[in-house]
A and B are shown apart, each in its own frame.
Chain A
Amino acid sequence: MNFVLDPTQWIDRYADYLFSYAYLRLNHRETAEDIVQDTFLSAYKARAQFKGNSHEKTWLTAILKHKIADYYRQKNDHEPIDRYLEQTQDSFRRRFFDDPKHQGRWTTRIAPTLTEYQVETHINSIEFSQTLLQCLGKMPPKLHQIFTAKYIDDTDSEQICKDFALSSSNYWVIIHRAKVLLRACLAQYGFFAP
């Protein structure tokens, strides 16, 4: 199959998709807009190199992916993740695992309680999806980047550890904290709230 490019239709067809793709990974509107804009312009300039062996949407997404990777490389965030996890450990525990009677158990007021019925009715609803994304957006950047690699990009755990130079134990601490934060945020919006 030979695919062709039709740049006159790009914005109508792919702007929302590419913007969503970028925003979910960058968590910043202006940055996402700039990078998608840059993607369209570079793609247009490089259109002679398009070989037609993939759909133009796939081709544009691949360019965007590279741009996002470049952005993170240039951002040069050098604060080591272990230090971040250490520094935030106490406040995380105080907030979530500080039952006054039994230290280490869920702090009762945010203990998750729900029925199977609640889960099944919410799980793929638009409200739940939108709220989940909103809560994802509130996650601290250090956690956000790793969490989206797993749940938005669907990258497997070993690969993420390699890509971010993470130890396996830190990786699971991050995923767990991120999930706990998401759950608390969902409860604030009334999902699975006690």
Chain B
Amino acid sequence: MKQTLHYLFHNCEEAGRLSLMREARQLSLRQQIFLHIHLLFCRCCRNFGIISAAIDRNFAHQRRQMSEQPPLVASEEWKNKLRDELNQIAE
């Protein structure tokens, strides 16, 4: 009993993993119950879920923007080198 309670309340690693898994597939009944109860009592894990969702949303945002506004800028020096090489083989 003590062990079960310890597992239920003090296994934040498992809870985090399951809450990620839940986005992609159906959890077993046992997993659902564990996660539900754990989240009810664990503020840290609820917060982790919020941050995790924020990260997901930002990545989705960045994927949409990627093509129009690439997040990184290549160095001018490298681009100039590339221009030279392309010109060279074009001649």
Chain A positions within 8 Å of B, measured between CB atoms, are 7, 10-11, 15-17, 19-21, 23-24, 33, 36-37, 40-41, 44-45, 57, 93, 96-97, 99, 102-106, 111-114, 116, 119, 122-124, 128-130, 132-133, 151-152, 154, 156-157, 172-173, 175-176, 179-180, 182-183, 186, 192
The size of the chain B interface, using a CB distance under 8 A, is 46
Residue pair A112, B47 in contact (C-beta under 8 Å): yes
The answer, among A7, A15, A106, A128, for a CB contact under 8 Å with B74, is A15
Establish whether residues B71 and A183, one from each chain, have CB atoms under 8 Å apart when the complex forms: no
Contact, CB under 8 Å: A93 / B13 = yes
Does B1 have its Cβ within 8 Å of any Cβ on chain A?
A: no
**Does B13 contact A152, Cβ atoms closer than 8 Å?**
no
| A154-B13 contact given A7-B90, A106-B44, CB 8 Å threshold | no
- The answer to whether B17 touches A176, judged by C-beta atoms less than 8 angstroms apart, is yes
Pair B90/A124 contact, Cβ less than 8 Å = no
Chain A residues closer than 8 Å to B81, beta-carbon distance: 37
14 of the cross-chain contacts (CB-CB < 8 Å) are A15-B79, A16-B73, A17-B66, A33-B74, A37-B81, A37-B82, A40-B86, A93-B13, A112-B50, A124-B57, A132-B59, A173-B17, A179-B20, A192-B47
